[in-house]
Amino acid sequence: MDCRVKPGNDVPQCVWRNMKHDTFIRHLLLIVAPLIAAFAILPGVYDNHLLLFNFVIFLILAQGVNIIYGFTGYLPFGYVGFFGAGAYGFAIMVMHFQTPAPLAVLVAGVVGVLLGLLLTPLLRLSGAYFAIANLAAALAVLHFVANPALESITKGPYGVALNGTFNPTLAYVGAVIILALTLGIVVFLRNSSFGMALQAVREDAVSAAMAGVNVVKMRVIAWLASALVAGLAGGVFAWYVSVFYPDNVFSSDFSIFAIVFALFGGVATIMGPIVGVVILYGIYNLIGFTTPQYFQLIYGVLIMALVLFLPAGLVSLATRRGWNVP
The DSSP 8-state label assigned to residue 119 in this structure reads: T
For residue 6, give the DSSP letter: P
Residue (of 76, 61, 46) closest to 231 by Cα position:
61
The answer to whether 87 and 243 are in contact (CB under 8 A) is no
CA distances (Å), origin 5, targets 72, 115, 218, 324: 19, 31, 14, 27
Query: Rounded CA gap, 175 and 234, in Å?
Result: 10
Specify the pLDDT at position 308.
84
Question: Residue 285's pLDDT is what?
Answer: 87
In the prediction, which pLDDT does 289 show? 65
- pLDDT on residue 20: 67
Question: Residue 304: what pLDDT?
Answer: 82
Decide if 21 contacts 38 (C-beta within 8 A).
no
Confidence (pLDDT) at 12 = 47
d(CA 169, CA 49): 9
pTM to 2 decimals? 0.92
* The predicted structure's pLDDT at residue 9: 52
Q: Could you write out the DSSP letters of every residue in 241-289? A: H-EE-HHHHT-HHHHHHHHHHHHHH-SSSSHHHHHHIIIIIHHIIIIIT
pLDDT tens, position by position, for the chain (326 residues)?
444 555 555 544 454 444 567 888 999 999 999 999 999 999 999 999 999 999 999 999 999 999 999 999 999 999 999 999 999 999 999 999 999 999 999 999 999 999 999 999 999 998 899 999 999 999 999 999 999 999 999 999 999 999 889 999 999 999 999 999 999 999 999 999 899 999 898 988 888 889 888 999 999 999 999 999 999 999 999 999 999 999 999 999 899 999 999 999 999 999 999 999 999 898 888 876 667 677 777 777 877 887 788 888 888 888 878 787 78
Please compute, for residue 54, the number of CA atoms within 13 A of its CA located in the half-sphere on the CB side.
13
